[in-house]
A and B are shown apart, each in its own frame.
Chain A
Amino acid sequence: MPDEPKLPWVVSLSQMLVRGAAPLVPVEQREDWLREWHAEIWHRWQFLFHTGGWNQREKLLLFRNALGAFADAAWLMASQDSVRSRISGIARSPFTCLAAFALILSMIASLSSGLQATREMLFRQMPNKAGKLTFIWLHHPLGGGDRGLPADVVPAWEQGSKLLNGVAGMEVRHDQVSWNGRVLPDDPLVIAASPSLFKVLGVKADAGQFPAEAGVVLDHRAWTALTHRKAGVVGTDVKIGRHAYRVSAILPASFEFLSRQPTIYVIEKLTYERKAFVVARVKPDVSDQKLRKELSRIASEVTAYFNLQNQMRFSTWREALLSPLVSFVPATLLAAIFACFTLRTSFKQMKRAFEPENRRVAARRTFFFIAKTGLALACVFVGCLEWSRSESSVLLASRDPGSGPFLLWLYVLGTMGVVFWSVADQRARCRVCMRLMAFPVRIGSPGCLLLDWSGTELFCSEGHGLLHVPTMTPSWDEDADRWISLDDSWKGLFLHDK
């Protein structure tokens, strides 16, 4: 062939890639596999070269297809029995179970900027005299759901209460915000608040002055995102939704109130038809009962058409921050109690495994159960907290600021799932090495409960024993699972490549 072209670098590179993937292929198939890939790449190039189709696009396509050699080689490797048994051995290992939860925790941490909400809950410093700050809102005793109070209670409390040093109402929403044509992404948090808000919070403006009646105050993050820190923004107009408002002040960088995201405060008089969440500064040494009594009395005088007595909720800053923990602990206890009743048979079986005939094994099993359950509960706690409080950590928190009980439901369902799964998983593990049992032989029908089964026999892949789960559990013998230990004479059956 006189016009035989020189091997292009893309073809050489593709063949190099194939050679790079070859070690993954089982030795007995490797030569055949390499021949096939090299021949296909060569023919592809020759065909395109002689038909005039050898262009940049085809070069890229050839390179991309050569990368597929890795997938092909990996499939051949994974389809070997020894590799498959090793992979399933690793998957059944108790360390894999713990490592999986550790991985989930680290993934949650990386997705939530290093567990921002959890850190805030545990370590956030209180703002100046925050202990005296109290949030007040409505929560219907039957229907549930957090709602704001009729806004006319705010001036009534301001004038009539002798127990408060200041009070302000807030209405929280998301809206489109723009300045000089620049629009803030993802509709930031807009808080319509009464003029006394910043006085109640005890904060001073970084630039400008807080408006006495109406205007807009930008927090530091909103100022940065919207104007790239232009000091001249004070006195200009910012557009919120369809309306324009005059910017009056910028808050200091250290100030963080409801949200970690950019927040815009629209200062205006909240009229009676608006629903306001209230923040109040309570005088020292005022008891909750006294405060509740006085505020309820004044509120009922102003808004006689509302029965506020049983609906008002009070929470200090610290209580608001720690409310996830307050939800999580009872949710876990509830799940544990529920599990104790419904899974009492499983607990009995687990107890048998912890009996002192082999203390070391029992201790290892107990440790594994505690570690696994603890890690799974930590994943639920942190995951739900970070997801629901991505915006804010205090009272009006959660994904939608105003639906506080949402987190409690997440915790109830999450902890219930963890406890039930943890017990079911423990039952399905070898009593000695704690690997998940293998080779299930179904001799009955699927159980009627989630994660349950009936009529099954399973072996430990290392040959430690056999677990017999009967088809029907007789009422006189609820403790019917049978663990049959296998002695060394059975070992030969379970020899496999390590």
Chain B
Amino acid sequence: MSDTTKLSHTAALILQTVDHGCSYGFDIMDETGLPSGTVYPALRRMEKEGLISSQWEAEKKALAEQRPARKYYRVTRAGAQVLEQAQKRYPLLGKLSQKSRR
């Protein structure tokens, strides 16, 4: 999968945002400035392609804090490889990544 998957600029930006620790849909929207109608379908597609995985947080913890549990996303190993390729293909994305890590 990681050898063949080519991401659009937007999808690569979303994947990079998840990689930087934004695990929830609305956080990704805040970080990227993209609307929900773009972010969520991109997350679904990347999950289907195995670039990210999703998981529900522990129900017990959420109940104890009297709030609904959230679903969070994480970049998979295949996703990390694809992201690396995307950063090479889109140099600006790579620069953005270095800047935000500094």
Main SS class of interface, A: helix
A35 surroundings in chain B (CB, below 8 A): 68-69, 71
A72 surroundings in chain B (CB, below 8 A): 36-37, 40-41, 44
A64 surroundings in chain B (CB, below 8 A): 35-36
A75 surroundings in chain B (CB, below 8 A): 40-41, 44-45
In the bound complex, CA of A44 to CA of B67 (Å): 12
- The answer to whether B44 and A70 touch across the interface, beta carbons within 8 angstroms, is no
Residues of A32-62 whose CB lies within 8 A of B:
32, 35-36, 38-40, 42-44, 46
Checking A32, A42, A71, A79 against B68 with a beta-carbon cut-off of 8 angstroms, the contacting residue is A42
In the bound complex, CA of A65 to CA of B25 (Å): 10
In the bound complex, CA of A64 to CA of B29 (Å): 12
In the bound complex, CA of A43 to CA of B23 (Å): 13
A66 surroundings in chain B (CB, below 8 A): 36
A67 surroundings in chain B (CB, below 8 A): 36-37
- The answer to whether B40 and A71 touch across the interface, beta carbons within 8 angstroms, is yes
Distance from A5 Cβ to chain B, minimum over Cβ atoms (Å): 13
Q: A71-B40, A72-B41 are in contact. Are A79 and B71 (CB under 8 A)?
A: no
Hey, what's the 0/1 contact readout for B20-60 against A, CB within 8 Å counting as 1? 00001110010000011111110011001000000000000
Quick one: closest B residue to A69, CB to CB? B36
- The answer to whether B37 and A71 touch across the interface, beta carbons within 8 angstroms, is yes
Q: A72-B44, A75-B44, A79-B44 are in contact. Are A36 and B36 (CB under 8 A)?
A: no
In the bound complex, CA of A35 to CA of B26 (Å): 14
In the bound complex, CA of A1 to CA of B65 (Å): 9
In the bound complex, CA of A69 to CA of B26 (Å): 12
In the bound complex, CA of A68 to CA of B37 (Å): 4
- The answer to whether A43 and B36 touch across the interface, beta carbons within 8 angstroms, is no
Hey, what's the 0/1 contact readout for B61-83 against A, CB within 8 Å counting as 1? 00000111111000000000000
**Residue A100 interfacial (CB < 8 Å):** no
- The answer to whether A43 and B71 touch across the interface, beta carbons within 8 angstroms, is no
In the bound complex, CA of A70 to CA of B38 (Å): 11
In the bound complex, CA of A377 to CA of B5 (Å): 41
In the bound complex, CA of A70 to CA of B37 (Å): 7
B39 surroundings in chain A (CB, below 8 A): 68
- The answer to whether B41 and A65 touch across the interface, beta carbons within 8 angstroms, is no
- The answer to whether A43 and B67 touch across the interface, beta carbons within 8 angstroms, is yes
Most A C-beta atoms less than 10 A away, residue of B37, B44, B66: B37
Distance from A109 Cβ to chain B, minimum over Cβ atoms (Å): 32
Distance from B88 Cβ to chain A, minimum over Cβ atoms (Å): 28
In the bound complex, CA of A38 to CA of B56 (Å): 13
**Residue A76 interfacial (CB < 8 Å):** yes
In the bound complex, CA of A1 to CA of B67 (Å): 11
In the bound complex, CA of A355 to CA of B8 (Å): 49
Ranked 7 nearest A-B pairs via Cβ: A68-B36, A71-B37, A68-B37, A72-B40, A75-B41, A39-B68, A65-B36
